[in-house]
Amino acid sequence: MKKRLNADIQKPKIVKHFYKTILGQGFEGASIAKVAKRMNIHPSLILHYFGNKENLTLALVDYVIEAYNSLLKKYKAKDLAPEDRLERLLEAIWSREYYEKINVAGSFAVLAVSFRNEKIHGKIRDLYRIFKKFLVREFRFLIDNNLICMDDPEQTAEIIMTMIEGSRHFRAFIIDDDRDDDQVRRYNQEMISVARKLLTSFSS
Amino acid sequence: MKKRLNADIQKPKIVKHFYKTILGQGFEGASIAKVAKRMNIHPSLILHYFGNKENLTLALVDYVIEAYNSLLKKYKAKDLAPEDRLERLLEAIWSREYYEKINVAGSFAVLAVSFRNEKIHGKIRDLYRIFKKFLVREFRFLIDNNLICMDDPEQTAEIIMTMIEGSRHFRAFIIDDDRDDDQVRRYNQEMISVARKLLTSFSS
DNA sequence: TATAATTAACTGAACGATCAGTTAATTATT
DNA sequence: AATAATTAACTGATCGTTCAGTTAATTATA
């Protein structure tokens, strides 16, 4: 006697299970049937809610993007003393919480698909635009308080974003054993250190 | 009356067409049948040569990795004056030739698959190890000639690699119109400039 | 040099499994 | 009784794979 759930609950649930299936089986391996099996529902129910796989995929992308976006919304440093805000920002960016919010395999799957789907590519581009704006706003605050200096905050934001995405890549492929927490922590500290120098000692 | 080609010619040809198919259809969309159709051969011929799709995939990864590796082999700066070698290195790393050698969509497809295939993951890790060694060797030469200074060449190599991979990411997703050459060129110059400062003015 | 033996390149048809998607029926909730 | 949730049964296409057989190129033999 399975309880019936309404669309508001069931739809996000399906998306989440789709995401989990992708993590285990990859994008190509994540069929509607497998998602349904994992949820113990009928495959047709998924198509009933999403119409087709394209829509399910787009919903997944929204889910992943929203997960990232929530990190920015959560980030509140207004109450901190200006001199502490730089450290807070750097630590947030290279924190476990940030880069583990969405599994790196999940990210890559979505990014790979985006090359063949302009809608998805656009959504990702939007996410980065929002993130860039966020960084520029933080930089401007720090500049106004004479804590850092730079010629072009937009340009500097681009460099920091490059380093952030590079770090995600690095942790996944270059660090020998990704279970070695010390190595990862040391690497993150390295990156924070470089970013700090970049923000405080360069005049561009 | 199709001419018969021997394995030495046909096998790499199949791998290249597999790669091209992935670019157009994505990894999940690149079936053996589609590759065969593109080549105007019978699907069975592909299996005749590779046995199964897994082997074809591994051959593709080798092909992509070899393409990258060839860039390092090609890189010769021994004849240059020591003071020119830093610029040569930076320009090579952020050159069109380097980052367009393998299409970014192709790279992402391979990287995404690697999360579910330890063999592929290992091959990619090996590639990065080789690249790191290459960078460290170049850095040591520059240090010996008093052109740059740093505490830990290995650590610096990691940072530069992070920036390189981040750049690939950035160009794909963050720059508004990826056909705008000027914007890309300006961005590459930015990154070269940051890398140069990092190598010349930091004591770590 | 001609021919037979062997190897390598290649094709065709068929396999069971799985895919996304359609249509219709059933069941629960309000 | 009306509506929404869920399942059942099914379709046609495509997937990777197997296997038996054909055709061409190469090598050995007479």
> Read out DSSP for A18-66?
HHHHHHHHHHHH--HHHHHHHHTS-HHHHHHHHSSHHHHHHHHHHHHHH
Distance CA B37, CA B31 (A): 10
**B115 inside 8 A of chain A by CB:** yes
Torsion of CA B7, B12, B13, B17, to 10 degrees: 140
Residues in chain A closer than 8 A to B161 (CB atoms): 166, 170, 174
Q: Which pLDDT score is estimated for B28?
A: 86
- Asked if B52 CB < 7 A from strand D, the reply is yes
Number of CB atoms found within 10 A of residue B64's CB: 25
Fold classification of A63-201 is Tetracycline Repressor; domain 2 (1.10.357)
Residue percentage of chain B with pLDDT more than 90: 80
Is the CB of A65 inside 8 Å of chain B's CB atoms? no
pLDDT at B77: 84
Q: Does B93 touch chain A (CB under 8 A)?
A: no
DSSP state of B102: S
Do the first three CATH levels of A1-51 and A63-201 match, i.e. the same topology? no
CA of B44 to C1' of D20 (A): 13
CB atoms within 10 A of CB B189: 13
In chain A, which residue's Cα lies nearest the Cα of B159? A191
Buried b (16+ CB within 10 A) or exposed e, A124-155: bbebbeebbebbbebbebbeeeebbebeebeb
Instruction: Please check whether residue B128 touches A, CB under 8 A.
Output: yes
Q: List pLDDT tens digits, range B148-177.
A: 989 899 999 999 999 999 999 999 987 766
Would you call A164 and B166 a contact, using CB atoms and an 8 Å cutoff? yes
Q: Is B21 on the interface with A (CB under 8 A)?
A: no
Could you tell me which of B6, B50, A109, A54 has the C-alpha nearest to residue B18?
B50
A12: DSSP letter: H
Determine the pLDDT at residue B121.
Answer: 93
**Cβ contacts (< 8 Å) between B202 and chain A: which residues?**
194, 197
Whether A118 and chain B come into contact, CB under 8 Å, resolves to no
A114 neighbourhood in chain B, CB within 8 Å: 173
The string of DSSP letters for A90-147 reads HHHHTSHHHHHSS-HHHHHHHHHHHTT-HHHHHHHHHHHHHHHHHHHHHHHHHHHTTS
Domain B61-201, CATH 1.10.357.10 — does that match? yes
Tell me the shortest Cα–Cα distance from A6 to chain B, in angstroms.
32
pLDDT digits (tens, 9 = 90+) for B110-130: 999 999 999 999 999 999 999
Nearest residue, CA→C1' of C10: B45
- CB B172, CB B71: distance < 8 Å: no
- Sequence spans of domains, chain B: 1-51, 61-201
Interaxial angle between packed helices B32-39 and B43-50, expressed in degrees from 0 to 180 and rounded to the nearest 10: 110
Task: Work out if A149's Cβ lies within 7 angstroms of strand C.
Answer: no
pLDDT of residue B63: 95
> Mutate which of B170, B179, B199 to disrupt the A interface (most A C-beta within 10 Å)?
B170
pLDDT of residue A52: 96
* pLDDT tens per residue across all 204 residues of chain A: 567 898 899 999 999 999 999 999 999 899 999 999 999 999 999 999 999 999 999 999 999 999 999 999 999 888 899 989 999 999 999 999 999 998 999 999 999 999 999 999 999 999 999 999 999 999 999 999 999 989 899 999 999 999 999 999 999 987 766 567 888 999 999 999 999 999 987 654
Nearest nt to the A6 alpha carbon by C1': D5
Summarize pLDDT for B60-91 with one digit per residue, the tens.
999 999 999 999 999 988 889 998 999 999 99
Nucleotide closest to residue B3 (CA–C1'): D24
Note the pLDDT of residue B204: 43
The class of domain A1-51 in CATH terms is: mainly alpha
Residue B173's nearest CA partner among A112, A125, A134 is A125
